[in-house]
Chain A
């Protein structure tokens, strides 16, 4: 059977399939659907310093090729997370990513310092990109220097690996990627949701209580894939791809574009057991293709540029 193990900088993952923040619970809630030991990693919903009750209803609205959401980072705050969720995560046989959010650089620093003491947390994923706070102004997502300041603050506050989760709502995501790399990020997650909107023209009623929100699901896959590819070719730290992934084929496309792993989001709503099923499908697809290791797929895109160590040789041969 094909070897699914991958590495992301200092991290070793049994397979490249992780959950995306906000779409698979905070902790082990989904363990009946896919056991943690089948997943490459589990990513928590964004945890903030103080509790946040979230936005008004409706918070989700389906569109033709995806989903709009305006949850607004509803969570009970970091102390509650540490007390009620983390004890169970200590025994979880998977890599635990805690996704953190903040409205200021100080927030980011404080929450990172608080979690640095927690052995159950393996990695911090910094949500620079939630469109559902501060009226969608994306303070850390669109300005490379703001993003760098947040990542630097987290970097200084913790010894754990730090992944920066970027927004696709920018012109040059590669510049954002370089800014967070220089600020000391261990890796990058690309991407969060695109800004979107739905409206019923008959009544004038917007689909979401906050009018605009984050767009996710199959409709964003090509956009996310391009963003992940641009990040991967702009930096030398690992990239986790995210956005519209629903099948094992999708996973392999993100790996081909240069990602070391992926996160599954909206697709889990239609089947919470999807991560486990995708892992099985990956094994089957690679076996059928005669690939001994999934690592041979990483960065194999023929974009005229050897973007990853693993594929440099293959590219050199095939690009002729």
Chain B
């Protein structure tokens, strides 16, 4: 082959574009890191394992429901199953902080609490957990957001926040 001059030819406009792209990327990195670490908006992190076919033995999910751990501080243990949540409804006073613990006794489900930042994949064998503070009274649906069988569309529950 002829000895041709090899080089990475970069057009001046292209060079500007590359620099701008790298700067934008740096800004994105910073923004994600800051948003991830400092505004208290958490994504789920591993909390516990359970045996989906024997939730009775798990202690906490043997009797699902709302537990008050301190004034206006609750833990909600919810079991997802085809095609309902147990319990379907919980009631807390406005201003409460509720930490949700959700697991499944059969297939995968979803748990999205409307108009909040709570959105979790519910995977059998795992416990999904996020917390939220309810400032405004009202009704908040939690809906199943993962396909779980033919009647998936009917699977939902409610948090009632009373004044």
Q: Are A and B bound to each other?
A: no
Residues of B within 8 A of A (CB): none
